[in-house]
Structure 1
Amino acid sequence: MAALLDAWDDSSLYPEALRAGLLPYLHTQGPCIAVGTRDGRRAWAVTGHRALREAALRPRDFSGELLGTAMSDATPEETALLRRQLPGLADGPHARMRRGLSASLRADINRGLSERAREAVAGRTAALRRTSCAGKRACLADLVGDVVVPVVADALGELLGVPTALKEEFRSWCVDSSEMTAEPEAEERALRAFLHICAQLRRHRTVHPAEDLPTFLAARLTSTAEFALNWVLLVKAGFGATVSAGAQLLRALPRDGSAAEEVPTLLDDTLRRHPPILQARRTATRPTVLAGQDIVAGERVLLVFAAPGLGPGAAPHTAFGHGRHACPGAPWARALLTGLAHGAAPAATRWQLPDTASAYATSFSQGLLTLPADHAPAARCPADPRSAR
C-alpha cells in the first residue's frame, strides 16, 4: 500500500465494487475507505460493518483477531495480542514455522517438495489419461478434486507431521473442507471432525514426540482446544490458499507445451492476477486514522484487496508473503505450486477446458471449486510406447 486516498461513502463505490464482486461487503452504515496500491489500482478498507462485528465474535473467525492495526506495521501491542491468542507461536509464526520443522522437511521446502509434487501430479494426470484412452468418449475430469486437492492435502499432512495412521482421515477432512459449504450443519460436522483429528494428533505426539510442529505445540499447550486453535490456522491457511492458487495455476497453463520453461513467470503472474486471499480481517490495537476516519482501539476492520497486482510491473499483493498478508508458509507453498505446474505441464497439451469452472461463493478467496477438463478420447490419444513392445 502506498498512499491513502479519499474516504468514500458506500454509494460511490458501488459500480466498481460490483464488478470486483465486493457488493456483499458494502451493505454497511460505516465508511468505505479507498486506498491505493503501488500499481495505481484501488483496494478498500471497510469499517463499521455490522455483520463483520458479529462475525468477529464467533470462534471460527478467530484468525481475524491476530495481526492488529489496519494499514500499519506490527507493533509491540500487536505482538502481545498474538502471543495471548497463539501461545504455541509466542516467538512469532515466521520463526516458529521454520524452526518447528524437521531438517528433512526444511530441505524439502527448498528442494525436494517440488519434485515430489511433480511426481504426484504426473501420476494422477497419467491415470486420467489412461481412463480417457480406454473409452470412446472424452473423459471429463475435475482437476481440482482429482489433482490439486489430494496432492496439497498429502504434502500438507507431511509438512505438519500427521502420522501415517491419521493420513487418510486428514486427507478426507481436507477434501470435505475444500468444498467451503456455508451450511451450519455441515460446518459443525467439519469442525467436530477436525477436533477429533486434533485430539488424536495431540495424543500421538505426546506419546511419540518428533522433530515437528505438532510435537512443539503438544508439549506447550495445556488443552486440545488451544492445540486446535493453533493448528487450524496452519491447516486452513496452508491448505485453502494453496488449493486456490493451484487451481488458478492449472487453468493458466499454456496448451502448447511451453509451460515447463515458463513456470516461474507463470506462477508469479498467476499469484498477482488471482491471489488466493482477497481480504483480511483485522482488529485495531491502538487508535488510528484512515483517510480522515477515526478508528478506535478494538474496532474490527475489513481490508478488501479488490485488484491487487494487476499493473504491468511487479507490485506487492496479498498472496504468499507479499504486501499486507505476511505468510510464514510462503516457501512451502511456492515449492508445492512449482511442482504442481511442472507435473501437470505435459498433460496440459491434451486438456480441453470448457468454460464450466465453478468458483467459491465468497469474496474471501479466488479459489475454484471445480475445474473440468476434457481428455482426448481413444481415437485421438497419442500411442502408448509400451503397447508397441
Structure 2
Amino acid sequence: MTTEQPTIQPQPRVRACPFDPPEEYRTVRELEAITQMTLLDGEPGWVVTRYEDVRAVLTDPRFSSGGRRLGDGTEDGVTPPPPPGFFIAVDPPEHTRFRRLLTKQFTVRRMKQLTPSVEPFVTERLDAMARAEVPVDLVREFALPVPSLVICELLGVPYADREEFQQNSARMISLTAGPEGNRAAHEAMRAHILRLVRDKRAGPTDDILGELVQSGELTDEELAGVGSLLLIAGHETTANMIALGTMCLLQNPEQLAALRADPTLMDGAVEELLRYLSIVQYGVRRNALEDVELHGHLIKAGSPVVASLASGNRDAAPFPDDPDRLDLMRKYAPHLAFGHGVHQCLGQQLARVEMKAALGALFDRFPTLRLAVPPEDVPVRTDMIVYGVHELPVTW
C-alpha cells in the first residue's frame, strides 16, 4: 500500500499586474510565516515571505549560499563547488576574501564621483533616441546601453564586445534555456573575461579588472569568475530597473508629475521604485547547513530556503502606508531590493547613480514620453531570473 504525498504548490510566476508580485505571495504572507513550495528547479523547498524573516534568513550563518543540497543528482547529495571567483555562491571566510578586495572598488564616495562620467553616456543615448524614428524600443536604445557602457568603462571591457556578453548574460539568467544552455553561456562569458584578464596581466590597465590583476591576490580563473559576475550584474539589473521604472512612472502619471515638479524627490523616487518593483523576482536561495526550526517548522539540513525579496518589500510591517501603492514621497525604510547581509549587492550605489541620471534626463528630454502600445502588450520577463520588460516601445 502506498501513501499519497500531499501536493505542494509551485512557486508562483503569473502576475495579474506587471508591477506586482504574484498574488499568491500576499496570501501566503498573511497566513503563514513560512510555507513549502516546489521551487523553480522542481525541487521542494521552503519560502519565507515576510520582511523580518527574509532578513533573518539572509543573515543566519546556518543558511548557506552554497552548502549541502538534497536531490540535485549527485551521489552523496553534495552540491559541486561553484566555479572559481563565483563569490555570490560561497560563504565566509572565502566570501570575505573576495568581498574585501571588491568593496573598495565600489565605495559610496567613488560611485557618487562617477555621476559626471555617467551623464555623457546618458546624453549620447538620448541624442540617438531623438534622431530615431518613433516608436523606439527604450530597452534597446537607452535602458540597456547606458549601464552597459558604464560597466564596460569601469571594468575595462571593450564596449564593442557588448553583443556577445549581453547575449550570454541573458542566457545565463533565462528560465527557458535549460541547464545546458545556462552552463554554455556561463562558460562562454568566463572564457571572454579570461582572455581580457590575460591581456591585462601582459599590459596593465587603469580599470577595476586591471587593478584586481595587479593586486596579485586572485588567480586568472578567479578573476574570470569575478569579472563575469560584475559584468552581468552591472548591466542586467540596472537596465531592467530603468526600463521597468520608466513604464511604472508612465502608468502612474500623478507620481511622475510630482517628480517632474520637484526634482529633489529623485533620491526617494529611486528607492521607492527599487522597493516597489523588486526585480530579483524569484527570491534569493539558501541551503540549510543543519536542522533549523523556523516558526514551528523543521527545515531539515540540506533543504533549500528561498527568501522572497519581492514579497518582503510588500510587507505592511515595515511599509505600513499601503505597501502595494507606488508613493515617491514614502518615508524611507530600508528595503530588500539589494538583498541583505554579507551578500548584499556590491554595486547598489552604482545602480542608484545610474538610475538617477538616466530617469531624470529621460523625462527632461522627452516631457511627452508615453507608451506606444497598450501596457498589456508590453512583453514582461517572467521567464528570466531578473524581472523587467523584454521591450518597451515608446513615443513622444
Q: Quick check: TM above 0.5?
A: yes
Which amino acid is 1:110 matched to? K
1:343 aligns with: 361
Output one character per residue of 1:270-301: Cα deviation in whole Å (capped at 9) or x when no partner. 00101122311113344422223333444432
Checking the alignment, whether the CA contact within 8 Å between 1:321 and 1:327 is kept in structure 2 is: yes
Give 1:282's match in structure 2, choosing from 283, 286, 292: 286
User: How much does 1:147 deviate?
Assistant: 0.5
The reply on whether 1:264 has 2:272 as its aligned counterpart is no
In the aligned structure 2, how far is the partner of 1:324 from the partner of 1:188?
A: 26
Equivalent in the alignment of 2:204: 209
Corresponding residue number in structure 2 for 1:372: 393
Partner of 1:167: 159
1:24-63 matches, within 5 Å, as: 25=39, 30=44, 32-37=46-51
1:222 is aligned to 219
What is the aligned partner in structure 2 of residue 359 from structure 1? 380
Q: Residue 323 of structure 1: CA displacement?
A: 7.0
The percent identity for this pair of structures is 20
* Partner secondary structure for residue 283 of structure 1: strand
- The range that moved more, 352-361 or 318-327, is 318-327
Q: For residues 179-328 of structure 1, what are the structure 2 equivalents within 5 Å?
A: 180-181=173-174, 182-184=176-178, 187=182, 190-210=185-205, 212-215=207-210, 217-218=212-213, 219-224=216-221, 226-253=222-249, 256=257, 257-258=260-261, 260-278=263-281, 279-310=283-314, 311=319, 312=321, 314-320=332-338, 326-328=344-346
In the TM superposition, residue 339 of structure 1 has moved relative to its aligned partner by: 1.0
User: Quick one: which of 136, 143, 160 aligns to 2:138?
Assistant: 143
Count, aligned residues: 333
- 1-structure distance, mates of 2:343, 2:312: 12
Q: Which amino acid aligns with 2:368?
A: R
State the Cα distance separating 1:29 from its structure 2 match. 7.7
**C-alpha root-mean-square deviation of aligned residues, in Å?**
4.3
CA contact (8 A) 1:246 1:340 kept: yes
- The verdict on how the C-alpha distance between 1:306 and 1:335 changes in structure 2, with shifts beyond 3 A counting, is closer
Asked whether the equivalents of residues 28 and 50 of structure 1 are also in contact (C-alpha less than 8 Å), the reply is: no
Distance in 1 between residues matched to 2:191 and 2:228, nearest whole Å: 12
Aligned partners of 2:160, 2:40: CA distance in 1, in Å? Answer: 41
Contact persistence 1:318–1:324 (CA under 8 A): no
Alignment TM-score, normalising by the size of structure 2: 0.68
Checking the alignment, whether the CA contact within 8 Å between 2:155 and 2:208 is kept in structure 1 is yes
Distance 2:212 2:116 in 1: 29
State how far apart, in whole Å, the 2-side matches of 1:48 and 1:20 are: 26
- The secondary structure found in structure 2 opposite 1:277 is coil
SS at 2:386 equivalent: coil
Q: State the alpha-carbon separation in 1 of the partners of residues 80 and 170 from structure 2.
A: 24
> Secondary structure in 2 aligned to 1:301?
strand
Deviations 1:46-83 (Å, cap 9, x if unpaired)? x998579999659589969736xxxxxxxxxx413xx1
Counterpart in the other structure of 2:3: none
Give 2:150's aligned residue: 155
Moved more, 361-370 or 16-25: 16-25
Any conservation in 1 of the 2:45–2:305 contact (CA below 8 Å)?
Answer: no
Give secondary structure in 2 for the equivalent of 1:359. coil
Q: Distance in 2 between matches of 1:294 and 1:39?
A: 15
Query: Partners of 2:125 and 2:49 in 1: how far apart?
Result: 43
- Structure 1 residue 269: deviation in Å? 1.0
Task: Decide whether aligned partners of structure 1 residues 19 and 216 sit closer, same or farther in structure 2, where only a CA change above 3 A counts.
Answer: same
From the superposition, tell whether residues 142 and 360 of structure 1 become closer, same or farther in structure 2 (CA, over 3 Å).
same
**Cα offsets for 1:14-64 (capped at 9, x unmatched):** 899952589863897846454532699xx999x998579999659589969
Distance verdict in 2 for CA 1:170–1:341, change over 3 Å: same
| Change beyond 3 A, Cα 1:196–1:296 | same
In 2, are the aligned partners of 1:272 and 1:317 still within 8 Å (CA)?
A: yes
Taking a change above 3 Å as real, the CA distance of residues 322 and 299 of structure 1, as seen in their structure-2 partners, is closer
Query: Structure 2 regions of 5+ residues with no counterpart?
Result: 1-5, 16-20, 29-36, 322-330
- 1:171 Cα deviation after fit: 5.4
Report deviation, 1:155: 0.5
Q: Residues of 2 paired with 1:292 and 1:107: CA distance? A: 44
